[in-house]
Amino acid sequence: MSPNRPIALGLLAAGVIIILVWLWTWWLPTLPAGRTTGFLAFHAGLRGDPYTRVVVLDLATWQATPLKREFTGASVDGQVVVTQRARSDKGVPTYSVEAAGKRRPLKLTPEARGSSVSGSGRVRPDGTVGFLHERSFALFDPGQSSPRLIGSLPEGSGDSDLGPVGSRAAVARNGLVQWLDLSTGELTPVDRGETVAVAADGTLAYRRGRRITVLKPGGGQPRVLEFRGRSITGPVWSPDGRYLACSYALGPWGFLSGTSGQVGLGVIEVGTGKTWRVLPITAWGETVATCLWLDDWFSGMPKGMADPVRPRPGAWRTK
């Protein structure tokens, strides 16, 4: 046997392993039609469009509608929408709540610079809105334009989620996940984490790096999920609490990378850990970010939200 043959066989085996790893990290099955329902709303950089736009994807028909107006939050039933005005007063973001054809402004103080409202959990179907506000949590009760400032949080970046119901909110600030009692302002530490999401039954999901931990409200063993080891952002809960949606990133040629690179939109089944892609990478360009997962949308969509060029239900399909 040639002395170079073992080297050649070793190189061949290494090449096969690299190809298999590449296929495993790059390829993802598409979410089967009818497996789940609802509307996924996400920000996307569309081809031929210089601006990032919100696109609403109907998971039942697989039709997508780009919107002509930005929104920063919505209730899970799609009936209450929070919008942000392009102009702000003295650097303070200007938000409004729209429901049943009426608009209610949310009044923020100058200390609210940098505050944001995003994600379905921050807006409840009854019109309650809540988000991080500097070193407190700002809670706007139904019909109210001024917030109640709850709790005392350290300065820094973070995330929060009200969830559709309940007497507490989940907050993440400086890498620490905590429960915030909305009545007393008391904080209860949970774990290290960067982003949070609360399901309708109170189940908490939080992301730390590439892993998502799921905690049931009654306690028990936490469940740890991954999206095939990829870098992710999010997650957000499906209305039925069976799935989590997240955006995932890959580097050049499909190899794992940080949050930079090409981005797609994926779904994880919480009970089994199975992963699917909802949007293939570069289907809408190279920027896709998870926004909301709604049970309903178009029946309660505020007037002027749909794109008149591509009216509902939309002309674009993703499969």
Residue 233 lies in a domain: yes
Residue spans of alpha helices (H) in the chain: 5-26
Q: Give the pLDDT confidence score for residue 110 in this predicted structure.
A: 52
Q: Give the pLDDT confidence score for residue 83 in this predicted structure.
A: 78
Q: Give the pLDDT confidence score for residue 314 in this predicted structure.
A: 41
Most confidently modeled range among 25-39, 52-66, 129-143: 129-143
- 227 has a pLDDT exceeding 70: yes
- State the CB neighbour count (10 A cutoff) for residue 316: 16
C-alpha dist (Å) from residue 255 to 17, 18, 20, 37, 250:
14, 10, 12, 31, 6
Q: Give the pLDDT confidence score for residue 206 in this predicted structure.
A: 95
Question: Phi first, then psi: what are they for 207, rounded to 5°?
Answer: -105, 135
Residue 7 lies in a domain: no
Window from 95-99, 236-240, 258-262 with minimum mean pLDDT: 258-262
Residue 199 banded pLDDT, cuts 50, 70, 90? very high
- 283 has a pLDDT exceeding 50: no
Q: Give the pLDDT confidence score for residue 52 in this predicted structure.
A: 63
C-alpha dist (Å) from residue 282 to 47, 118, 264:
9, 24, 7
Residue 310 lies in a domain: no
Residue 231 lies in a domain: yes
Tell me the average pLDDT across 223-227.
91
pLDDT 10s digits, 89-107: 555 567 788 876 777 887 7
Tell me the average pLDDT across 134-141.
86
How far apart CA 311 and CA 302 sit, in angstroms, is 14
Here the CATH number for the domain that contains residue 183 is: 2.120.10.30
- 254 has a pLDDT exceeding 50: no
How far apart CA 86 and CA 131 sit, in angstroms, is 19
Instruction: Write out the residue range of the structural domain in which residue 166 sits.
Output: 39-302
Residue 313 lies in a domain: no
Give kind and range of the element (H or E) at residue 51.
none
Buried b or exposed e, range 31-56, using 16+ CB within 10 angstroms: beeeebebbbbbbbbbeeeeebbbbb
Q: Give the pLDDT confidence score for residue 250 in this predicted structure.
A: 61
Question: Phi first, then psi: what are they for 12, rounded to 5°?
Answer: -65, -45
Residue 253 lies in a domain: yes
- State the CB neighbour count (10 A cutoff) for residue 174: 12
Residue 241 banded pLDDT, cuts 50, 70, 90? very high
**Number of structural domains, the chain?**
1
Q: DSSP letters along 90-159, please?
A: TTB--EEEEETTEEEEE---GGGTT----SGGGB-TTS-EEEEETTEEEEE-TT-SSPEEES---SS-EE
244 CB burial (10 A radius; 0-12, 13-18, 19+): buried
Q: Give the pLDDT confidence score for residue 122 in this predicted structure.
A: 82
Q: What share of the chain is helix, strand, coil (3-state, %, to 5)?
A: 10, 40, 50
Predicted TM-score of the model (pTM): 0.81
- Counts of helices then strands in the chain (DSSP H, E): 1, 24
149 CB burial (10 A radius; 0-12, 13-18, 19+): middle
Residue 132 lies in a domain: yes
Residue 273 banded pLDDT, cuts 50, 70, 90? very high
Residue 6 lies in a domain: no
Q: Give the pLDDT confidence score for residue 163 in this predicted structure.
A: 83
| Top-confidence residue, 48 or 221 | 221
